[in-house]
Structure 1
Amino acid sequence: MLPLRLINVFDAVVRSGSTQGAAKELNVTQPAVSQAIRSLEELLGVKLFDRKTRPVSLTTAGDILNTGVSDGLNRIAETIDRVRSLHLLNENSVTIACTIGTATYWLMPRLAGFYVEFPDIAVNVQTTVGSPEISPSTDLLIRYGLGEWTDGRSVRLFDERVVPVSSPRVAERYSIMEDLEDAPLLHVVSSEKSWLSWDDYFKRFSLPENNMVGRSFTNYVQATQAALSGQGVMLGWESNTGDLVREGRLIAMKNAEIVPEESFYLVIPSNGQKKSATDVFASWLAALSNDESRDLRDRLATGIVAS
């Protein structure tokens, strides 16, 4: 039997396209990934990657292994979901899936309020890098888009607002939109086309192109932490940085806000299990979002929050 650790490293290299990408995903060093691949090749007695090409490509043996590994890991994931679903049949638990950023900065801080009202219901939060998909263990999902998904019923939670944000120290230097031309920008690399990038933002306001390289991150949690530590200016989304702005930990640039066409929705799967806990939590989220949206509109109208 081959060590599962080596199989996991091989799969990460194939999916990310490089040892560097696999190292980031697995939170290890690049040399450790390279050593694991060499160990796997020695155990099998064949080369799995053609290192003469750039980027490296799979050999015939590597391609065969990749097919088997992909099928095997998918079956393991499906089996784990089925096992988890047995536990989640409990009427007093509900599982909700959302992105890492939404969970960290919007959902998790609000769960304490839910537990005060409903202490007997357990909420399990599943986080994803991209938009969450329905699995056998998922009762609810929070997605960003136009609400036109066909795999469930969509209930709008709140509209998004996008505005450049930075730490108070950085905001002293880059306080107006025109300053962005020379500002150190924090970029989030995302495959989700609906999420605005800095390029989209500059085109929307017909701003001169920013000539600074800036820093790039793979998710909004990393970028937000960089903004909090004063590393630059990031595009702040209400769902991720709204609370931080209201707390004064980040400063929103005035008169620089974009309201995208997309919104955040609560998605109730069409084939989901009918549980009272799911209904209670879904209703609570909808009511909470309505209250917060109304409060934010009031703040904008009175000038308490920069628009």
Structure 2
Amino acid sequence: MDRLPPLRLLAVFETVQRAGSAKAAAGELNVSLSAVSQSLKQLEAHIGAPLLDRSTRPASLTEAGAILFRAVVENRERLTEALDDIRALADPTGATVTVACTMGFATYWLMPRLEAFYLEHPDVAVNVLTSVQETPRLAPGTDIAMRYGDGRWEDGAVELLFHERVEPVCAPSYVRRLKETGGSLGTAFLIHVETGDRRWISWADYLARTGQKAAGSAKGLRFSNYVQATQAALSGHGVMLGWRAITGDHVANRQLIPAGLPPLTPNNAYHAVLSHRSRNRETSEMLVEWLKEAADSE
């Protein structure tokens, strides 16, 4: 038996994780929800291990699922980089910029702004590579890496994109439900994102740095990425730590609202790191300047 599962099953699995839920993936793939669920079950049967913990809503990755997801994303990145290099050889004058960033940053900040960028610069193509790494690499073929941190990187020219802001947020429906049941935010379910990168602020960090009580911090939902956590918050399952890059647009359009707790400004910020090896340095610099202006206007 072929050890590799059919590529279409891997594509469905990757889309579910990137979109945040099977329902969202079905819409993106233009198939039924049952077709997505069936594909996931076929993939699990082929591999011989459960990939999703379906006891959570939305479902979270199991340890096996996390291993497979990392492999799928990393191999897709390498394939995209190879194709970009091939296109550059065929058309060295083409105005194409390749940007590497985390899935959450791509989904909730970068992609929504690229539509306006394309209206102003229809001759420029931006390829977006999502990375499972918290600090995306400037691999061969990558022109820009969007990174969260202190800006002390030496593999490229660093430009400050915007400062972060962290504030607890939740769906309006969740606040109404708490009030109806006589509860308070102090006893609310908290949505946790578990990451090994200490630069990202956890609920324990937030509560300690703002002097808030830890009530409610031990219960709630736990996810391995901010896309799934945000989907859970939008669905009204609890309160999450909202980051400007992740939930800023949802707060602006009132899909999520501040939970009444103080905001926190981290020491780190988002930066654009331009590769010294970029074949499209001028176009890359133009894109970064445009994104900086877009961030400043918000």
The TM-score with structure 1 as length reference comes to 0.69
Per the TM alignment, residue 135 of structure 1 is displaced from its structure 2 partner at its CA by 1.1
Query: Which of the numbers 269, 274, 286 marks the counterpart of 1:268?
Result: 274
Bigger-Rg structure (1/2):
1
Structure 1 contact 130–192 (Cα < 8 Å) conserved: no
1:233 partner letter: V
Structure 1 contact 159–264 (Cα < 8 Å) conserved: yes
- Residue 143 in 1 paired to residue 154 in 2? no
Distance 1:275 1:204, change over 3 A: closer
Distance 1:75 1:250, change over 3 A: closer
Aligned to 2:30: none
Aligned to 1:232: 238
Per the TM alignment, residue 192 of structure 1 is displaced from its structure 2 partner at its CA by 1.8
Structure 2 Cα separation of the partners of residues 115 and 75 of structure 1: 28
The gaps in structure 2 that reach 5 residues or longer are 11-38, 50-62, 65-70
Structure 1 contact 165–236 (Cα < 8 Å) conserved: yes
Secondary structure in 1 matching 2:5: helix
Distance 1:265 1:80, change over 3 A: closer
Per the TM alignment, residue 163 of structure 1 is displaced from its structure 2 partner at its CA by 0.5
Secondary structure in 2 matching 1:5: coil
Per the TM alignment, residue 160 of structure 1 is displaced from its structure 2 partner at its CA by 0.4
Query: Which of the numbers 198, 201, 210 marks the counterpart of 1:196?
Result: 201
- Residue 258 in 1 paired to residue 258 in 2? no
2:47 partner letter: A
Aligned to 2:95: 92
Secondary structure in 2 matching 1:97: strand
Structure 2 Cα separation of the partners of residues 109 and 79 of structure 1: 24
Question: Which residues in structure 2 correspond to 1:286-305 (within 5 Å)?
Answer: 286-292=292-298
2:187 partner letter: D
Percent identity between the two aligned chains: 38
The gaps in structure 1 that reach 5 residues or longer are 10-26, 39-54, 57-69, 293-307
- Residue 118 in 1 paired to residue 139 in 2? no
Structure 1 contact 144–264 (Cα < 8 Å) conserved: yes
Structure 2 Cα separation of the partners of residues 246 and 77 of structure 1: 32
Length, aligned pairs only = 242
Structure 1 contact 91–276 (Cα < 8 Å) conserved: no
Aligned to 1:170: 174
Distance 1:170 1:283, change over 3 A: same
Higher relative contact order (CA 8 A, sep 6+): 2
Structure 1 Cα separation of the partners of residues 75 and 168 of structure 2: 43
Structure 1 contact 101–240 (Cα < 8 Å) conserved: yes
Alpha-carbon deviations, 1:252-300, whole Å to 9, x = none?
13351000000000111122224432232122112222333xxxxxxxx
The TM-score with structure 2 as length reference comes to 0.71
Aligned to 1:104: 107
1:210 partner letter: A
2:215 partner letter: N
